[in-house]
């Protein structure tokens, strides 16, 4: 049937993977890119960076696998959500992409929260609180602050849309990536007209709606030449990276909970319908698995907190990694073993770019609390790993309250490569953590979707049976779990204590923000 190609455009890197018709991973390749942060609340990327990274990753993965390009039958692409790009009629970018982490639209988020009833927003879009992350807030910011750009843009595309256009020449989007834009009605699977009316947008300035997993077309000539692939390759819309990642770990039906520690920390629980959460607090996404939804709590900075530490304070590990041909992340997590559980009282709040689920405090910032003359770098690294595990536990508790009870956690993303981190998560949460062959679940999920669309797999159930293979199991240690109770409660108490300090002087918490 041919070889399948999965592509995922994440926040700080684009990854590509080749898989055979039995779902076995043949090779992966990744291309990193840096966010531009001209101001503390801003995060931007030149959109051409995404396309250049895609071309480089695909060419490298083909070379590494030693697979003739003619054998590639289909590809699917997923991406981060919310990041928005204004383009001309030909699809040329008109300005830097505003990345989902960007918080410049705080005032616009407050305005939208005041205009739309919170219960209506959740019932329509699955979004429990309006924060600057969402695409509609960013569009309103452009409308207010750069009206010429806003009026002049032919379309506003998300990252998946932008790359699908480069690949096929079609302006196509789908509910899986649009579900957190505040522009999309996830129940009726169409545009949310009241929001479009407020923004003075028409559907023609967005994209033609398709279903997750749908075939968009085949490669146009320019794209085929750039990638070194035949123009006959089928191009499939994979959805948001969270949905594709859930597919990639076999999380396609109720009863399974997974987590991804990439740049962000996200959780996924498959559900059949929106509206089953009595709390109204759990984000609901459109799944890449047809006909299903996802509970999907998101924390903006997960693994990115460790990346920040590596880049600012990990010079010894970076140098040693280069000399030894190892990963600086592995060396840092090994360093954390020199500190005890609870980091001798050092607690971190990892909100380097605001807090989302379940706190919804976009102005939250990172905090290290409780360090003394006796603390060293090993404590700070371990405190970062533990902070992400604490966020994971908080959101597992949120899912539990929504009716999605975890008996184990399937872990994927870059953080799943670390045995140290996996064990910390298991000990903090008191649950087994399972990893799978090939830690990049989103590209595996994309390849599975491409395989279903091209006929390599009869359906996603068959794709899961063939492609999803357990690799390691991390059982929680009862004594360590008990020891973490104090540290976990301190983490929660710390956030609630400093929370008022994140707000501007005299500012009260706004409903929905």
What pLDDT, on a 0 to 100 scale, did the predictor assign at position 424? Answer: 98
Q: Which two tokens stand for residue 352?
A: 């380097």
CA–CA gap between residue 218 and residue 226 (Å, rounded): 14
Q: Which residue has the tokens 């409308």?
A: 143
The predicted-structure confidence for 119-143, as pLDDT tens digits, reads as follows 999 999 999 989 999 999 999 999 9
Mean pLDDT value across residues 455-474: 93
Distances (CA, A) of 65 to 5, 23, 366, 446, 454: 11, 14, 41, 18, 21
Q: Is the pLDDT of residue 511 over 60?
A: no
Q: Which two tokens stand for residue 512?
A: 């929905």
CA–CA gap between residue 137 and residue 105 (Å, rounded): 6
What percent of the chain is modeled with pLDDT above 90? Answer: 85
Query: What contacts 506, CB < 8 A, 6 or more positions away?
Result: none
| Exposure class string for 6-41: b at 16+ Cβ within 10 A, else e | bbbbbbbbbbbbbbbbebebbbbbbbebebeeeeeb
CA–CA gap between residue 184 and residue 174 (Å, rounded): 10
Q: Is the pLDDT of residue 449 over 80?
A: yes
pLDDT band at 510, cuts 50/70/90? very low
The predicted-structure confidence for 202-229, as pLDDT tens digits, reads as follows 999 999 999 999 999 999 999 999 999 9
Mean pLDDT value across residues 148-175: 98
User: What CATH number should be reported for the domain whose range is 3-239?
Assistant: 3.30.420.40
Q: Is the pLDDT of residue 512 over 50?
A: no
CA–CA gap between residue 408 and residue 209 (Å, rounded): 35
Q: Is 206 strand, coil or helix?
A: coil
Mean pLDDT value across residues 305-326: 96
Q: Are 95 and 255 contacting, i.e. CB atoms less than 8 angstroms apart?
A: no
CA–CA gap between residue 83 and residue 254 (Å, rounded): 29
What pLDDT, on a 0 to 100 scale, did the predictor assign at position 297? Answer: 92
pLDDT band at 439, cuts 50/70/90? low
The predicted-structure confidence for 239-286, as pLDDT tens digits, reads as follows 999 999 999 999 998 888 999 998 889 999 999 888 888 888 889 999
CA–CA gap between residue 206 and residue 506 (Å, rounded): 38
Mean pLDDT value across residues 44-70: 96
Mean pLDDT value across residues 308-333: 96
CA–CA gap between residue 365 and residue 418 (Å, rounded): 26
Q: Are 233 and 167 contacting, i.e. CB atoms less than 8 angstroms apart?
A: no
- 197 vs 255, higher pLDDT: 197
- 292 vs 281, higher pLDDT: 292
Q: Is the pLDDT of residue 396 over 50?
A: yes
Q: Which two tokens stand for residue 67?
A: 């697979």
Q: Which residue has the tokens 């981060």?
A: 80
Q: Is the pLDDT of residue 513 over 70?
A: no
Four-residue CA torsion sign, 163, 167, 171, 174? negative
Mean pLDDT value across residues 446-472: 94
Q: Is the pLDDT of residue 508 over 60?
A: no
- Give, rounded to a whole angstrom, the gap between the first and last alpha carbons of the chain: 49
Which parts of 352-408 are beta strand (E)? Answer: 367-369
Of 148-152, 296-300, 482-486, the poorest mean pLDDT is in 296-300
Q: At 209, which helix (H) or strand (E)?
A: strand 208-210
CA–CA gap between residue 116 and residue 511 (Å, rounded): 11
| Strands 72-79 vs 265-271: parallel, antiparallel or unpaired | unpaired
Q: Are 308 and 220 contacting, i.e. CB atoms less than 8 angstroms apart?
A: no
The count of other CB atoms within 10 Å of the CB of residue 482 is 12
Opening angle at CA 293, ends 43 and 13, nearest 5? 30
CA–CA gap between residue 470 and residue 166 (Å, rounded): 35
CA–CA gap between residue 231 and residue 212 (Å, rounded): 22
Q: Which two tokens stand for residue 336?
A: 């954390």
Q: Is the pLDDT of residue 352 over 80?
A: yes
The predicted-structure confidence for 144-153, as pLDDT tens digits, reads as follows 999 999 999 9
What pLDDT, on a 0 to 100 scale, did the predictor assign at position 506? Answer: 57
DSSP 1-33: --EEEEEEE-SSEEEEEEE-TT--EEEEEEEE-
Q: Which of 51, 55, 74, 75 is nearest to 63 (CA)?
A: 55
What pLDDT, on a 0 to 100 scale, did the predictor assign at position 158? Answer: 98
Mean pLDDT value across residues 299-311: 93
Q: Which of 490, 496, 482 is nearest to 345 (CA)?
A: 490
DSSP 26-71: EEEEEEE-PPB-SSTT--EE-THHHHHHHHHHHHHHHHHHT--GGG
What pLDDT, on a 0 to 100 scale, did the predictor assign at position 462? Answer: 95
């Amino acid at each position: 049937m041919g070889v399948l190609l999965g592509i995922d455009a994440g926040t700080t890197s684009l990854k590509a993977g080749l898989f055979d018709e039995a779902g076995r991973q043949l090779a992966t390749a990744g291309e990193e890119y840096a966010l531009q942060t001209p101001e503390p609340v801003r995060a931007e990327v030149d959109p051409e960076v995404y396309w250049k990274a895609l071309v480089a990753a695909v060419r490298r993965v083909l070379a590494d696998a030693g697979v003739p390009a003619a054998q590639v039958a289909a590809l699917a692409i997923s991406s981060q959500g919310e990041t928005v790009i204004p383009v001309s009629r030909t699809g040329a970018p008109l300005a830097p992409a505003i990345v989902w982490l960007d918080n410049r639209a705080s005032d616009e988020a407050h305005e939208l929260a005041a205009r739309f009833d919170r219960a209506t927003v959740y019932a329509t879009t699955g979004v429990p609180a309006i924060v600057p992350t969402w695409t509609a807030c960013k569009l309103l910011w452009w409308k207010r602050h750069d009206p010429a750009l806003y009026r002049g843009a032919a379309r506003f595309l998300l990252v998946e849309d932008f790359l699908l256009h480069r690949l096929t020449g079609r302006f196509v989007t789908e509910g899986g990536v649009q579900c957190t834009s505040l522009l999309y009605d996830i129940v009726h699977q169409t545009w949310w007209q009241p929001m479009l009316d407020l923004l003075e947008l028409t559907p023609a300035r967005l994209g033609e709606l398709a279903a997750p997993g749908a075939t968009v077309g085949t490669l146009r000539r320019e794209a085929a030449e750039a990638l070194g692939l035949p123009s006959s390759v089928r191009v499939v819309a994979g959805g948001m990276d969270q949905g594709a990642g859930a597919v990639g770990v076999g999380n396609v039906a109720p009863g399974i909970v997974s987590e991804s520690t990439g740049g962000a920390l996200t959780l996924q629980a498959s559900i059949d319908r929106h509206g089953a959460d009595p709390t109204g607090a759990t984000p609901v996404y459109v799944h890449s698995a047809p006909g299903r939804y996802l509970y999907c709590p998101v924390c903006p900075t997960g693994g990115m907190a460790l990346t920040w530490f590596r880049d600012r304070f990990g010079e010894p590990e970076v140098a040693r990694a280069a000399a030894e041909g190892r990963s600086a992340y592995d060396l840092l997590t090994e360093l954390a073993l020199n500190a005890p559980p609870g980091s001798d009282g050092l607690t971190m709040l990892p909100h380097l770019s605001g807090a989302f689920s379940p706190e919804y405090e976009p102005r939250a910032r990172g905090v290290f609390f409780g360090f003394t003359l006796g603390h060293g770098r090993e404590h700070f690294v371990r405190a970062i790993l533990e902070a992400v595990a604490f966020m994971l536990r908080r959101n597992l508790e949120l899912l539990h309250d929504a009716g999605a009870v975890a008996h184990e956690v399937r872990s994927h993303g870059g953080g799943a490569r670390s045995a140290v981190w996996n064990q910390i998560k298991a000990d903090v949460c008191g649950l087994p953590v399972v990893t799978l062959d090939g830690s990049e679940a989103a590209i595996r999920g994309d390849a599975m979707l491409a395989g279903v669309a091209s006929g390599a797999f009869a359906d996603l159930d068959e794709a899961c049976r063939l492609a999803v293979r357990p690799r390691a199991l991390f059982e929680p240690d009862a004594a360590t779990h008990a020891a973490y109770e104090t540290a976990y409660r301190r983490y929660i108490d710390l956030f609630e204590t400093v929370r008022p300090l994140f707000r501007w002087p005299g500012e009260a918490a706004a409903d929905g923000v």
